[in-house]
Chain A
Amino acid sequence: MKILLVMPTPFETGRLGLENVIWLAEPVALTSIAATVSDRHEVRLLDMRLEREETLPETLADWKPDLVGTTSMTTDVYQAKAVLRMTRQIVPNALTVVGGHAPTLQPKEFAEPYIDVVVQGEGEDTFQQLCQRWDVQRAHGDRTFAGVAGTRYHDHDTIRVEAKRSQVRSLDDLPAPDRSLVAKYHGRYFFTSARPMASIFTSRGCSFDCNFCAIWEFYERRTRYLSAAKIVDQMQACEERFIFLLDDNFLTNKKRILALCEELERRKVKKLWMTQGRTDFVADNPDIMARLAKNGLVGLLSGFESNDDDNLAALRKKNTFDKNKRANDILRDNGIFSTGIFMVRADWSKEQFDALYDYINTLEIGIPLVTILTPLPGTQLYRLYRDKLMTDDYRLFDLLHCVLPTRLPRAEFYKHFARAIDATEVSCYRAMRSLLFKRPSVWWAMGRNLLWFYARTWRYQRVHRDYTSFLRDEEGLLNGPGARGHLTWRDVQYPTGSEPRTDREGQSLIPLRIPKRTWADDVADASQNPHNHDLPALAAGE
C-alpha cells in the first residue's frame, strides 16, 4: 500500500509566521507514525513548508497513494483540510486521515465529507491499525473502522467515535522516527542560527496544568520518558551537530536527566542541543543545569510568561517572578542561550507593556518572544472565553493576534505590541555578549549562521515592526461572538488563580481530572448539547 504523509504549511505560502524565521522543526509527528508502518508499506513524506505548491497535486496525480495523512495544530486547521480536500478531488479512492493536536482537541472542526478518519490522541498504534485495516478494506471501499480505538469516522450519516486510546505504551517500545523520509530536506530545519538542526523527542506530556496550554490535557497530565540509552542512540544517529529535543517540558525528572548526562559522558557524545523547559526547575537545580551545559545543552526555550506574580498565578503557572530571575542568572552563568516567551494580555495598558519590556531588559534573554495570551482550543482558557472571542478564524490564534477585546484601542494595542522587538534588544545584545565570553566555542558554532539568521529575521522584523500588519491581517475577520455582541475588555473577566475548581455543572472551568474514556472538549460539548447522541454516551461512562 502507498502512504503519503503531508506536513501542511502553517499559513498560505508567502504569509509570514515565526516558522519562517525562528524555528522550523522536522515533522517528527509524521516521521514517528511513519516508522510504525514503513516496514510493510511504501511511505513518502512531503513537507509543504519546503516544497513548491504544485508538488502536492503532482504527487497525488502521479503516485496515486492509497492513504493520505496529515497533521494539524490550531493555526494550520484550514491548511490541513485543504490538503485532504485536494486529495479527495484528485485521488477519490485514497483514505484521508488527519491527526495531531487540533483534531484531537477540536475534532468537530474536521467533520468534513472529504476527511475519512480523525485520529485522536497519540497516533502510532492507531495509525498502524488503521493501515492494517485499510489495506484489507480498500478493495471494497469500506471506510469504517469499528474497534480501532482513537478514531472518529463517518458511518453512513453519523460520525462514529471509537473508544479513547489509552496512552500507556512505553516510549522505548515505539520505533524511532523514520528520519530517512526527511533526508531530502537535510539542512533546511533550524532553530534561530542553529542549523542544520535535527529534531527528536525524549518525553511526552507535562505534569503541570497551566490554563493556557493544552499539552497536559492531550497527554492526560502524565509524562512518559524515553530512556537515556534510547535518547543517546537517537542523538548519535543524527548527522546534524545541532539537535532540538522537542519535549513539551524536558526539565521535569531529575533522575532521568542525570542518567542522560551519565550516558552522554560515557559515550562521549559531542552534540549541541536545545530543548524546552520550565524556569522553576532551572532555578531550583543549578548543579543539574551546569552538568547539562557541560553535556551539550546550548539553548533553552522557556515560558517566563509574565513579570508579575499575580499574573503567573492567574495562568496557573505555579512559578514566581523571583524564580524567573534566578533561572535567568543560572542560564547566563552556564552559557545557555535563553529564548524566553512572554505573554501580554488584551486588558493591558501602555504602562503594563512598558513594565514588561523594562523587565525583559533586566534579564539576558537571547530571544525574548513577546506573544499575546491566546485562549487556544482545548485549553481551560478557551472554555472560559469561547463566547467572548472576537474571531473564529484559527489563523489568528497564532499568539501574534489578539482574539479577545482589548482595553486599548486595537491599533494602539498593536502599536505597543509591535515595539517589542526594539524595546527588548538590549536583552538580546547582553545575552549574545555573555555567551561569547562564557562559551566562545558555542558562540562560534551558532555565530557562523548569525548573519544568515539576521538576514531572515530582519525581513520578518519589517513586517512585525509595522503594527498595521496586524490590523490588516484581521481586517474583515473580527466576526466572532465577542465582536457580534460588541463586547469590551470589561466583559472579559480574567482568572485570578484563586477560583474554586468548579465541577461539570459549574459555570466556567471543567474539572482538572480528565475523563478516561473521552476528551475534555467532548464532555463540555456533551453537557451543552444533550441531543448529541455520540458524546453523552461516552461521557456517561465516566
Chain B
Amino acid sequence: MKTPREFLSDLRDEIEAHPAVNHLFLNRLATSPMSRQDYRVFAENHYPLVCAFTTYMELLLLRAPDSEARLWLSRVLVDEYGEGSEGKDHPTLYASFVDACGGDSGRLGPERLPSPAHAFIQAHQRLVRRGTFLEGLGAVGPGHEWAIPKMFDAIVPGLRRAGLSDDQIGYFTLHLEQDEDHGAWLEEALVRTAGTPEAQAQVRRGALTSLEARMRFWDGVQAAVIRYRQPRATRADGPSPRTLLHEVALTSWDGMTMGRALETWRARRATDARPTLDGMLLACRSLT
C-alpha cells in the first residue's frame, strides 16, 4: 500500500500529464495571437465556473468528517471570498476581466448558462453532493487546485499578448500564486484522510472525474470560439472516415432550410432548459 504522501505524489504526476490540464486549446492560447473578441467568448463561458466554485467548497464543508478537514477547507474558502485579493472575491475579479474583453459581466447573471459550463458545474455538483466526501475533496483539491496553476500558466501569456493589463487579468495571475497555497493546504487535508487504499481510490476517482469534465469543458469553449469566428463552419472530420451516404446526408441536412430551422429550434430548447447563472447559484446556496 502506498503511503498518503506517495499516493499524492503519484496523483500529482498523473494530473499534470492529464489531457485536460494540457488540452490543445490551452496550448493554442499560449502560442496563438488570440484577440480580445476570442477572449470575450472564452470569458463568458468560463465565468460561471468561477462563480460556482465556492458552492462546491461550501457543500463539502458541511460534509467534512472532522474539524481538521473543515479547517483546511475553510482556509481555502476564506481566500476565495477575497482574503488574499484586497477583499474582492474571485467572481468580482473575473468580472473585470470579462468587461476588459468587451463583454458585459452584469448581463451574464440573468442569462442561461452556456452548455459547456452547465455540464461542468452539474458534474461537480453531483460529485460534492452525491459522491463520497473524499471524491468531492479529490475534485476540488487535486482536480482543481493542482490543475489550475498549470492551465493558467498557458493562458496568461496569451492574455498579455492580447494587450490586457495586469489589473485586468488579476484573477489569473492571482491563481498562479494562490492555488499553489490552496493545493498545499488541501494536500494537508488529504494526507490525513487518504490513508487507506479505498480512501485513495475515492480521492483519485474524484480528481479524474473532475478532469474529464474539464476536458469536455475546454472542448466546448474551443468550439464556441471557433463558432464565433465562423458561425457557418462545417462539421470537422472525425477520427473515422465518413461514408458517402453520411457526407451526402449531412450536406442535404445543412442545405435544407427546415434542417437549419430545426437545429436552431433544438438549440433554443436546449438553452431554455438550462438554468440561468443566478438561478443556479441561488439553488446551490439554498442547499447550504
Check if A and B associate: yes
**48-75 of chain A: CB within 8 A of chain B:** 49-58, 60-61
Whether the pair B229, A187 counts as a contact (CB closer than 8 A) is no
**Min distance, Cβ B275 to any Cβ of chain A, angstroms:** 27
- Once A51-B239, A85-B31, A477-B35 are accepted as A-B contacts, the answer to whether A459 and B234 lie under 8 Å apart by CB is yes
Can you list, as one digit per residue, whether each of A85-106 has a CB less than 8 Å from chain B (1) or not (0)?
1100111000000000000000
Mask, B2-42, CB within 8 Å of A = 1, is 00000000000000111101111101101111011110000
CB distance from B160 to the nearest CB of A (A): 14
A90 to B219, CA, bound (A): 19
Q: What residues on B are CB-neighbors of A90 within 8 Å?
A: 16-17, 22
* Interchain CB contact (< 8 A) of B27 among A52, A58, A82, A187: A82
Contact A86 B233 (CB under 8 A): no
Report A-chain residues with C-beta under 8 Å of the C-beta of B228: 472
Asked if A395 and B32 sit within 8 Å, CB to CB, the answer is yes
B150's partner among A54, A78, A89, A460 (CB-CB below 8 A) is A89
Q: Are B241 and A187 in contact (CB under 8 A)?
A: yes
The distance in angstroms between the C-alpha atoms of A58 and B14, with both chains bound, is: 12
- Chain A residues positioned under 8 Å from B24 (CB to CB): 13, 53, 56-57, 82, 86
Is A466's CB under 8 angstroms from B239's CB? no
Cα(A92)–Cα(B62), bound, Å: 40
Question: Is A455 a contact partner of B226 (Cβ separation < 8 A)?
Answer: no
A469/B230 in contact, CB under 8 A = yes
Q: Given A14-B233, A54-B215, A86-B24, does the pair A476, B19 have CB atoms closer than 8 Å?
A: no
In the complex, what residues of A have CB within 8 A of residue B38's CB?
Answer: 476
Contacts of B222 in A (CB 8 A): 12-14
Residue B235 lies at the interface, judged by CB distance under 8 Å to chain A: yes
Of all chain A residues, the one with the shortest Cβ separation from B153 is: A89
Interface of A is mostly: helix
User: 8 Å CB contacts to A: which residues of B183-230?
Assistant: 215, 219, 222-223, 225-230
Chain B residue contacts of A444, Cβ below 8 A? none
Contact B230 A459 (CB under 8 A): no
- Cα A160 to Cα B1 in complex, Å, equals 49
Look across to chain B and name the residue whose beta carbon is closest to the beta carbon of A90: B17
Tell me the smallest distance from the CB of A190 to a CB of chain B, in Å: 10
Q: Are A451 and B230 in contact (CB under 8 A)?
A: no
B247 at the interface (CB under 8 A from A): yes
Query: Could you say which of A78, A393, A466 has the most chain B C-beta atoms within 10 Å of its C-beta?
Result: A78
| Residue A462, interface by CB 8 Å | yes
> Given known contacts A15-B229, A56-B24, is B35 in contact with A476 (CB within 8 Å)?
yes
**CB pair B230 A53 closer than 8 Å:** no
Q: Which residues of chain A have C-beta atoms less than 8 A from B177's C-beta?
A: none
Q: Give the interface size class of chain B.
A: 35 or more
Q: Does A463 count as interface, using CB distance less than 8 angstroms?
A: yes
Q: Quick one: given A455-B247, A466-B232, are A57 and B19 in contact (CB under 8 Å)?
A: yes
On whether the beta carbons of A393 and B33 are closer than 8 Å, the reply is yes
Determine if B86 is an interface residue (Cβ-Cβ < 8 Å).
no
B228's nearest neighbour on chain A, judged by CB, is A472
Stretch from B63-71, B121-129, B248-256 contacting the other chain = B248-256
Contact residue among A81, A455, A469 (Cβ-Cβ distance under 8 Å from B248) = A455
A348 proximal to B (CB < 8 A): no
Residue-wise, chain A 22-37 has the 8 Å CB interface mask toward B (1 for contact) of: 0000000000000000
What's the interface size class on A, roughly? 35 or more
Total inter-chain residue pairs, C-beta < 8 Å = 137
Q: Tell yes or no: A473 within 8 A of B by CB.
A: yes
Whether the Cβ atoms of A463 and B226 lie closer than 8 Å is no
Q: Least Cβ distance of A12 to chain B in Å?
A: 6
Q: Evaluate contact between B232 and A463: CB separation under 8 angstroms.
A: yes
C-alpha gap A13/B225 in the complex (Å)? 11
Which chain A residue lies CB-closest to B227? A14
A20 touches B223 (CB 8 A): no
The residue on B at minimum CB distance from A15 is B226
List, in ascending order, chain A residues with CB within 8 A of B16's CB: 89-90
Task: Determine if A16 and B37 form an interchain contact, defined as CB atoms under 8 angstroms apart.
Answer: no
Q: A14-B233, A472-B230 are in contact. Are A456 and B223 (CB under 8 A)?
A: no
Interface check A392, CB cutoff 8 A = yes
Q: B28 and A78: CB pair below 8 A?
A: yes
- Cβ–Cβ < 8 Å partners of A16 in chain B: 230, 233-234
Tell me if B270 counts as interface (CB < 8 A to partner A): no
Q: A395 vs B239: C-alpha distance in the bound complex, in angstroms?
A: 24
Query: Residue among B24, B222, B239, B251 with the most chain A CB within 10 A?
Result: B24
Of all chain B residues, the one with the shortest Cβ separation from A449 is: B244
CB <8 Å contact, B239 and A55: yes
Given A13-B222, A463-B233, A463-B234; A78-B247 close (CB under 8 Å): no
Inter-chain contacts of B241 with A (CB < 8 A): 187-188
A542 located at the interface, meaning its Cβ lies under 8 Å from any Cβ of chain B in the complex:
no
Question: Which chain A residue shows the least CB distance to B40?
Answer: A476
Hey, which bits of chain A sit against chain B, CB under 8 A?
Answer: 12-16, 20, 49-58, 60-61, 78-79, 81-83, 85-86, 89-91, 187-188, 392-393, 395, 449, 451-452, 454-456, 458-460, 462-463, 466, 469, 472-473, 475-477
Apart from A463-B232, A469-B232, 14 more pairs, CB < 8 Å: A13-B226, A16-B234, A20-B234, A78-B33, A82-B32, A90-B22, A91-B17, A392-B33, A393-B33, A455-B244, A455-B251, A456-B251, A463-B230, A476-B37
Instruction: Give me 10 A-to-B residue pairs in the complex whose CB atoms sit less than 8 angstroms apart, sorted by A's number.
Output: A14-B233, A53-B23, A61-B18, A90-B17, A449-B244, A455-B244, A463-B230, A472-B228, A475-B229, A476-B38
